[in-house]
Amino acid sequence: MLLPDEATEERALVLAAQAGDGAAFAGLVRRHQRRAYAVARAIVLSHDDAEDAVQEGFLHAFRALDRFRPEQAFGAWLHRIVANAALDIARRRKVRDADELPETLASPHRDPAEAAELQERLGAALARLGSRQRAVIVLHDVEGYKHAEIGALLGIPEGTARSDLHHARSQLRRLLSNLRLTP
């Protein structure tokens, strides 16, 4: 959620970008690129695919900027576009190779060898989930989105986001059932 001053500043950037100011759109890109990448990375399995999704998402947003209503939340609108671009890439590529997980999933108090093994096992388990379930679990458990926000980002009902999260966690528990974690 943006603070009132940030929302006013963002609205001004949106209006300027809609009027053709390229620097204003660049400001919107700078403001949202990290979160857009996190959204895309939650859906696709590789850094390259996430970057492609972000690029496609920003390009689509630029082209559709005239249809954006400034009273909406630009970030939510943009992240939905990026999520859809990432889902399209995931569907097109059908990638199943697990890439390295973000460091936020690895505990800093673990033996590095154990952490690497945990990361590898978790990555492989996440890769076995469908792209939507993988997106829901990473958006919720890693990025901290709420069910309603995930539903809006992925274009699914909130209840479906809850159900996907439940099933994704259950499947991960089964896939990682023989993993022994030591604090």
Choose one of 39, 73, 93: the last residue of a domain: 93
Do 129 and 148 reside in the same domain of the chain?
yes
CATH number for the domain harbouring residue 158: 1.10.10.10
Whether residue 180 is contained in a domain is answered as no
* Residue 79 to residues 57, 152, 179, Cα–Cα distance (Å): 8, 9, 34
| Residues spanned by the domain of 14 | 4-93
Whether residue 76 is contained in a domain is answered as yes
| pTM of the full structure | 0.58
Is the pLDDT reported for residue 95 higher than 50? no
Is the pLDDT reported for residue 53 higher than 90? yes
The better pLDDT of the pair 29, 96 is held by 29
C-alpha of 170 from chain center: 21
The average pLDDT across 163-169 equals 90
Beta-carbon count within 10 A of 54 CB: 25
